[in-house]
């Protein structure tokens, strides 16, 4: 589990204290119980959808820096240390790029890689800002910028809306190449339908 990998010691020795918040969004695999046993705080968000879960997490967030990543260990939490350094240095938002980093075999399908490249290219074209992995689920924020992000997405178009809001608010954005692991359960993202929804979000937020 990702809770085992968060570099508490490294962050603590650098003067940071940590708080792990897990949003239970209709889990049926005992996620909440596991999180509680590992001393994480759990909140329940009854309205289903990734966007709803993340928005609830942002509402509950405390401290100077906030990180968002999936709980299935596909995104190693050890990258948080590097991302904190960028945020502490004055950056507003940091993302973890799977497409600039390394990907385990089977971690992402060829179709999703192509689709992500196309959506990322579209985002760069529409917004005039560079990003290499629009659909990454690994984001870090200075907590002070969260109230600026007007989010309405309920599903997997959340990341497109986050990027659009970063550009709209003229926030500084940096990327960190990350390792991406194979997930232990089937992906919930449906390539074509969610891809169309992401593209629609990019156009809607831009125009």
DSSP code at position 16: -
- Express each pLDDT in 16-30 by its tens digit: 788 889 998 888 878
Cα gap 3→200, rounded to integer Å:
34
Mean pLDDT computed over 107-112? 85
What is this structure's pTM? 0.89
Mean pLDDT computed over 70-95? 91
DSSP code at position 130: -
For residues 133 and 76, the model is more confident at: 133
Which pLDDT score is estimated for 5? 60
Contacts of 168 (CB under 8 A, 6+ apart): 205
Domain ranges of the chain: 63-206
- Express each pLDDT in 174-201 by its tens digit: 999 999 988 766 555 566 788 899 999 9
- Express each pLDDT in 25-45 by its tens digit: 888 878 888 888 888 889 999
Which pLDDT score is estimated for 25? 85
Q: Return the CATH fold of 63-206.
A: Spore Coat Polysaccharide Biosynthesis Protein SpsA; Chain A (3.90.550)
Cα gap 26→46, rounded to integer Å:
7
pLDDT band at residue 58 under the 50/70/90 scheme = very high
Question: What Cα–Cα distance (Å) separates residue 175 from each residue in 2, 30, 94, 192?
Answer: 21, 33, 5, 26
Is 10 a residue whose pLDDT tops 70? no
Is 71 a residue whose pLDDT tops 80? no
DSSP string, 41-106: EEEE--S-SHHHHHHHHHHH--SSEEEE--TTSSS-GGGHHHHHHHHHTT-SEEEEEEEEEEE-TT
Which pLDDT score is estimated for 1? 46
Is 94 a residue whose pLDDT tops 90? yes
The two tokens of residue 87 are 């945020």
The two tokens of residue 198 are 């992401």
Question: Among 9-18, 49-58, 61-70, 140-149, which stretch is predicted with the lowest mean pLDDT?
Answer: 9-18
For residues 149 and 195, the model is more confident at: 149
Average pLDDT, the chain: 88
Mean pLDDT computed over 139-160? 94
């Amino acid at each position: 589990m990702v809770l085992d990998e968060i570099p508490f010691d490294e962050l603590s020795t650098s003067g940071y204290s940590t708080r792990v918040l897990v949003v239970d969004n209709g889990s049926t695999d005992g996620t909440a119980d596991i999180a509680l046993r590992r001393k994480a705080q759990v909140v329940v968000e009854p309205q289903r959808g990734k966007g709803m879960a993340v928005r609830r997490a942002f509402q509950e967030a405390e401290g100077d820096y906030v990180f968002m990543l999936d709980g299935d260990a596909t995104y190693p939490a050890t990258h948080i240390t590097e991302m904190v350094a960028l945020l502490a240095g004055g950056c507003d938002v940091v993302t973890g790029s799977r497409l600039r980093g390394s990907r385990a075999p089977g971690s992402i399908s060829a179709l999703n890689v192509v689709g992500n490249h196309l959506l990322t290219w579209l985002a760069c074209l529409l917004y005039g800002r560079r990003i290499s992995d629009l659909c990454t689920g690994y984001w870090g924020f200075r907590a002070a910028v969260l109230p600026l992000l007007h989010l309405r997405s309920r599903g997997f178009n959340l990341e497109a809306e986050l990027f659009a809001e970063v550009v709209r608010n003229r926030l500084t954005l940096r990327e960190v190449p990350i390792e991406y692991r194979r997930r232990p359960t089937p992906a919930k993202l449906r390539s074509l339908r969610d891809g169309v929804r992401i593209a629609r979000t990019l156009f809607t937020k831009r125009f």
